[in-house]
Amino acid sequence: MSQTLNQSDVEIVYERLREAMPGRTPGAKGPKGQPDAFRSCVSCMLSAQSLDRNTAKAARELFVLAQTPEEMLALDERDIAEAIRPCGLYNMKARNIRAFCSALLEQHDGRVPDTREGLMALPGIGRKCADIVLSFTFGKDVIAVDTHVHRVCNRIGLTDAKTADKTAAQLEDRSPQWALHDGHFWLIQFGKRVCTARAPKCGSCPVSDLCLYYAATS
């Protein structure tokens, strides 16, 4: 049995999600509400294996101390680690943040690049962070894959991937062009409201007739 939907069903899934879920909010700020690309990148780095509220607390503490790559590098690594302690893995994240700032200044004159390749070449920035910054901060047509999007896509059968990065690559290949601008927003809201992690609301789901997970478990 195929582990993914055929291309025409992929289109139908997106059409139904577009009808049922809100899309991108025009003028919305970057990930976690950060106002610029630099802070969005740092905030993404802080969010690894951290709850949203702990990431937000760590970001607040850190951005009181420094808001630019230059200001960040002027801080001692221990001061950064202390400020971001709430989000966990703080020693490693503090090291990564300094390395990121250093590379940003050396290679890009302190300006965050607006390409995936450019972003992923910077220390501490993986595909998820790069795609989130591209989508939220630069407004590009990119479906960033977080834990909700990864779960939903692989349940429905839009993708058949074990990791979020592989889900992102498959989504890029399999999603229609028209769905790339808002796809992240439809999928994440769908994952939070309907296809939740522990108790998906399959009985009221608009794509249950297509969902491979539902077909296999009902």
Among 10, 156, 179, 187, binds ligand SF4 (CB under 6 A): 156
CB of 115 to ligand SF4, least distance (A): 32
Based on the residue annotation, tell me whether 79 is a catalytic residue of this protein. no
Among 14, 38, 100, 214, binds ligand SF4 (CB under 6 A): 214
Among 32, 127, 150, 155, binds ligand SF4 (CB under 6 A): 155
User: For residue 146, what is the DSSP state?
Assistant: -
CA distance 13 to 117: 30
At 44, list the tokens. 């993404």
Angle at 18 between CA 17 and CA 19, to 5 degrees: 90
- Which residues are CB-neighbours of 58 under 8 A, at least 6 positions away? 46, 50, 83, 84, 85, 86, 87, 90
CA distances from 194 to 2, 116, 166, 187, 198 (A): 24, 30, 23, 10, 11
Choosing from 9, 32, 93, 146, which is the catalytic residue?
146
Based on the residue annotation, tell me whether 128 is a catalytic residue of this protein. yes
Among 17, 44, 188, 205, binds ligand SF4 (CB under 6 A): 205
CA distance 194 to 204: 8
CB of 55 to ligand SF4, least distance (A): 26
Among 58, 72, 133, 207, binds ligand SF4 (CB under 6 A): 207
- Restricting to residues 18-77, which ones interact with ligand SF4 according to CB under 6 A? none
CB of 68 to ligand SF4, least distance (A): 42
Is there binding between residue 202 and ligand SF4 (CB under 6 A)?
yes
CB of 208 to ligand SF4, least distance (A): 4
Burial of 52 (0-12, 13-18, 19+ CB in 10 A): exposed
Q: What x-and-dash track marks residues 159-198 binding ligand SF4 by CB under 6 A?
A: -----------------------------------xx---
CA distance 202 to 112: 41
Choosing from 9, 57, 128, 131, which is the catalytic residue?
128
Nearest to 133 by CA among 20, 27, 43: 43
Number of shown-chain residues binding ligand SF4 (CB under 6 A): 13
The residues of the shown chain that bind ligand SF4, judged by CB under 6 A, are 155-156, 194-195, 200-202, 205, 207-208, 211, 213-214
Catalytic residue IDs = 128, 146
